[in-house]
């Protein structure tokens, strides 16, 4: 499943145009983070551009933070036209095949993040994404309209009739699960295992670099969490003010029961 995330959009026409493309090239969701105008979804320009889309306002989720919009996403991609270092700002044309299986798997959530029409994504917002990509353009005009950019991306990921269907496989980590894994690793490896402040800083920085952008499956997280448990950790998402999913809640409840049993036996 694809999730378009518009961060701080300013133009109701653009939001309406993106909603139209979501309906054209779905299945997809549209989430809006901190829109510039609270009345954007009742603006005449929005209604004009989204004309023909049924239950249009009910299909858009408006939230206050990017983290909230990405919480369920298993793979997140930020789109930026500004140079951010070619080391990780990939050409979208070379990236499509890699993300296509996630985009069209109902059990996955592919977060496609677009910034404001005025200044795009901030560095902090882009850091919340696992990958940064660009849509290449001709030198004559190097910027793309927000609605056009989102439409191009959705179209290139659209299955269409007769396209190859995704075959089931391992589940990718959600944003929230990835955050818990990173915080768990930092709490144990950087804060308890590393010797000295300098080593702790290096370990924490390495965890942030590797585990923020690496493609991670649920079985990867299980393996790392088991290793942290073997080192004596009993930390849960709630210890980092993170909200677990239903499966995580069951795991936390089981850990708490085991903790109480050990305390009672001591």
How much is the pLDDT for 232?
Answer: 87
Q: Does domain 2-157 have CATH number 3.40.1280.10?
A: yes
CA 224/CA 239 separation, integer angstroms: 17
Model confidence band, residue 87 (pLDDT cutoffs 50, 70, 90): very low
pLDDT of 103-153, one tens digit each? 888 888 999 999 998 889 998 999 889 889 989 888 888 778 999 999 999
Q: How far apart are CA 184 and CA 193, in angstroms?
A: 12
Across the chain, mean pLDDT equals 84
Domains of the chain by residue range: 2-157, 175-265
Please say whether the beta carbons of 137 and 120 come within 8 A: no
Report the alpha-carbon distance of residue 92 to residue 90 in Å, rounded: 6
Q: State the pTM of this model.
A: 0.67
Which three-class secondary structure string do you get for 51-66?
A: CCCCCCHHHEEEECCH
């Amino acid at each position: 499943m694809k999730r378009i995330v518009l961060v701080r959009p300013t133009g109701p026409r653009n939001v309406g145009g993106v909603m139209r493309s979501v309906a054209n090239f779905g299945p997809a969701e549209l989430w809006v983070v901190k829109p510039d105008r609270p009345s954007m979804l009742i603006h005449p320009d929005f209604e004009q551009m989204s004309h023909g889309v049924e239950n249009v306002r009910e299909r858009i989720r408006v939230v206050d933070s990017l983290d909230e919009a990405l919480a369920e996403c298993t793979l997140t991609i930020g789109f930026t036209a500004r140079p951010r270092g070619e080391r990780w700002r990939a050409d979208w044309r070379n990236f499509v095949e890699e993300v296509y299986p996630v985009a069209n798997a109902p059990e996955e959530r592919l977060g496609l993040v677009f910034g404001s029409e005025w200044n795009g994504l901030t560095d902090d917002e882009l850091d919340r994404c696992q990958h940064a990509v660009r849509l290449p353009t001709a030198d004559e005009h190097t910027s793309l309209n927000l609605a056009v950019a989102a439409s191009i991306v959705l179209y290139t990921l659209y299955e269409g009739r007769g396209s190859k269907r995704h075959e089931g496989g391992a589940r990718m980590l959600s944003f929230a699960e990835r955050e818990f894994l990173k915080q768990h690793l930092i709490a144990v490896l950087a804060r308890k295992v590393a010797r000295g402040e300098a080593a702790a800083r290096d370990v924490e920085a390495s965890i942030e670099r590797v585990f923020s952008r690496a493609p991670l499956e649920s079985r990867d997280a299980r393996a790392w969490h088991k290793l942290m448990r073997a080192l004596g950790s009993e930390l849960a998402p709630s210890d980092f003010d993170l909200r677990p999913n239903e499966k995580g809640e069951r795991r936390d409840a089981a850990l708490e029961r085991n903790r109480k049993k050990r305390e009672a036996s001591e």
